[in-house]
Structure 1
Amino acid sequence: MTIPPFGLTLPGEIRFGRGAAAEAADRIAAMGARVLLVHGADAGRAEWLATALAARGVLAACVACPGEPDLPTLEAALDEARAAAPDAVAALGGGATLDLGKALAALLPSPTPARVHLEVVGEGRPLTADPLPLAALPTTAGTGAEATRNAVIGVPEARRKVSLRDARMLPDLALIDPALMDGAPRGVTLASGLDAVTQVIEPWLSTRANPMTDALCRPAIPRGLAALARLAEGEDAGARDDMALVALTGGVALANAGLGAVHGLAGPLGGHAPGAAHGAICAALLPHVLAANAAAPDLSPETAARLETLRAMLRETLGVADWAALAEWTRAAGLPGLDALGLDPAEAPAVAEAAHAASSMRGNPAALGQDTLERILDAAR
């Protein structure tokens, strides 16, 4: 069998394991004399790193990410960061914080406005200058943003979440210490975990899948599902380790093989329900997108076989027999549907129409029309 051509892009360096955060300050200090630290809404969770960077004389300023970043937040953060004149960026937090850090590292050297570089709502121009050196330290296991080449930014007036994307946006250092994720709230853990699992399922089913991403995703899917089952029961350090690895794997996989209809819908959904967490949206959509793909008349035999393998994985790890049972499992675990996340059902047609323009939709293994996407949104309510 002929292997089709493919490429693989990765962060400059990946450091994974419990205790890896102990080397963070020294590694980051070596990246620049003036470091901008981007952290989440709770500055206290980043105090250990801010103190360590200050002790090494490299902390230029701290910028908070209060929630999932939108364009006004990004523009305000750029003004704040430029005043500090950093020559490197470190981002410590969940996927939203890492996205803001990646966007700041990308745009601080740029003479053009942020909107020019945004996909869909802007011109999607490549960066005009190399980004600043960037270190990414995730504190949740979800988006895998520590290994991707894009940052997701909300645009409120367009009611969309879109990407700032450039191959040079991959972090120079991805430092993943599962201990930073210990004790995360159960709802955050399960929603972000289902996002991580989705991000190894969709690249495995993607039309852009390749032998390298298959080798990463195939074992990561049952690992992630089994970790979810354990974390649904309570705190489990081993399951945290597994989920952190799955999230990293998902970041690598999506950067190289793309995603599918879950994320194609999640972008416009994030704009129509701006308070909803991305992971919760993915959790609500995943079972129904899988069902729609399985029923699609144009599905290839190979993808149909992969979906059957996925059903077997679900039975073995979560004890669910089919896509409907997976939806029941997510609700029983306390994860909300789209109504509870703030989607007005009357806006479903607009969300489905916008999803067709999403870059993630290009990797979906079946062509899902407007009616099918609206049925998915209705089922996910």
Structure 2
Amino acid sequence: MDPRRGRRASVLMQLLLPPRILFGRGALADALPHLRALGSRLILVHSASARAAPPLADDLRALGCTVQTCLAKGEPTLPVLEDALHTLRPCNADAVIAMGGGSALDLGKALAALLPGAHPALHHLEVVGGGHPLDTAPLPFAAIPTTAGTGAEATKNAVIGVPQAQRKVSLRDDRMIARLAVVDPALTEDVPPATRLASGLDAITQVIEPYLSLNASPLTDALCRDAIPRGLGALRQLMQAPNPQAFDDMAHVSLSGGIALANAGLGAVHGLAGVLGGRTGAAHGVLCGRLLVPVLRTNFTAIDTPRRAEVLAWIASAFPENSDPLTALQTWIDAQGLPRLADLGLSARDHARVAADSLASSSMRTNPVALSGEQLRKILSQS
């Protein structure tokens, strides 16, 4: 038996994912009849950078749909979500489509989940709210990512910022999985380099953490074993000399990470990032990228398993400049200009509170080892 399993009560293997996934260049055009089949009254949530959103709305209207658009500005917060619910409930929508980065997809997913229900959002939010399951089935939801990072097109949760609690927490229900995920790598090519870096590091984190997770299974392992080395190579290529194959690979890694994390869970990177995001307002991918190496280094001092050796070998293959693979990866990340936590507004006096708050995160429960508050504070200092 894998020695990581000592903290588990039982082994459960499952695979929850969208019932239809369209992947590849041109997938958006192929998706039109499937989007139309969701209903005739549609809400289209989109980020400002999703340049394909207005043409998509026009195409759906030409097919006989009424389309109400909703602009997603930045990462969704509880007040933004509540305002959108108030505005969009009179539409009596049949379905919700979201196009954009992970923030737009999370807002669309949350709207699809909450529009049919009677309770306020806080009734269902984890950690800071009631954490109650949805009492009404969500509207059908379709996700069209335009960045390759969060994998939100394949997850069963929406991350919502709660400013009054200085936290980012999840609205979570198995029924929130998208009915349709449309992953067209061509939509990700306009992303600026800084976003490409942060999104790519997010995607890589979201295949490494499920692979090391206590809830990893043969099904999620199969996805991650392909995606980890593919993602490391693709990210390096995207930051040096981007080409279509690298964009395709990173979109594949992002989708794989969404499926893997929805079924295997995550780890301490995400346990800390959720708290940090609420306190600093920093982009999730930036936080994951800055935390990744310190968390791996801390975890790897406590575990010596074939998975540890595999991850180190994959990193070494993509970043061979140093005999220590983690040092090589960290040096490369630093050279790309990714901000440090101090640059994002986190001071040393905040470390103890962030560490304590992160221990309540669901992601901490599947980290391969139980980390203490002192270890988490050291990770924050190193980040």
Whole-Å separation in 2 of the counterparts to 1:236 and 1:184:
13
Structure 1: which 5+ residue stretches go unaligned? none
Contact 2:50 2:100 survives alignment (8 Å): no
2:296 is matched with 290
2:84 is matched with 77
1:22 is matched with 29
Matched, 1:123 2:143: no
Match among 279, 285, 288 for residue 285 of structure 2: 279
Percent identical: 54
Contact 1:41 1:67 survives alignment (8 Å): no
Which aligned pairs between 1:121-270 and structure 2 lie closer than 5 A? 121-270=128-277
Give 1:251's aligned amino acid: G
Matched, 1:348 2:336: no
CA offset digits 1:246-297 (Å, max 9, x no partner) = 00000000000000000000000001101x110000000000000000112x
The offset of 1:42, in angstroms, is 4.0
Give 2:235's aligned amino acid: L
Please state whether the residue corresponding to 2:18 is helix, strand or coil: coil
2:14 is matched with 7
Contact 1:160 1:271 survives alignment (8 Å): yes
Structure 2: which 5+ residue stretches go unaligned? 3-9
Matched, 1:368 2:371: yes
The offset of 1:83, in angstroms, is 2.5
Contact 1:183 1:235 survives alignment (8 Å): no
Give 1:346's aligned amino acid: R
Contact 1:37 1:59 survives alignment (8 Å): no
2:67 is matched with 60
The offset of 1:43, in angstroms, is 6.4
Whole-Å separation in 2 of the counterparts to 1:55 and 1:133:
21
Whole-Å separation in 2 of the counterparts to 1:33 and 1:292:
51
Give 2:380's aligned amino acid: L
Please state whether the residue corresponding to 2:40 is helix, strand or coil: coil
Whole-Å separation in 2 of the counterparts to 1:124 and 1:80:
24
Whole-Å separation in 2 of the counterparts to 1:246 and 1:42:
22
Instruction: Give the stretch that moved more between structures: 159-168 or 312-321.
Output: 312-321
Contact 2:22 2:31 survives alignment (8 Å): no
Contact 1:151 1:163 survives alignment (8 Å): yes
Which aligned pairs between 1:80-119 and structure 2 lie closer than 5 A? 80-119=87-126
Whole-Å separation in 1 of the counterparts to 2:252 and 2:166:
32
RMSD after superposition: 1.5
Whole-Å separation in 1 of the counterparts to 2:88 and 2:34:
21
Contact 1:43 1:64 survives alignment (8 Å): no
Please state whether the residue corresponding to 1:126 is helix, strand or coil: coil
Q: For residues 43 and 252 of structure 1, do their structure 2 counterparts lie closer, same or farther at Cα, with a shift above 3 Å needed?
A: closer
Contact 1:90 1:101 survives alignment (8 Å): yes
TM-score, structure 2 as length reference: 0.95
1:332 is matched with 335
Give 2:337's aligned amino acid: G
The offset of 1:25, in angstroms, is 2.7
Give 2:309's aligned amino acid: E
Q: For residues 183 and 60 of structure 1, do their structure 2 counterparts lie closer, same or farther at Cα, with a shift above 3 Å needed?
A: closer
Whole-Å separation in 1 of the counterparts to 2:345 and 2:63:
45
The offset of 1:45, in angstroms, is 4.3
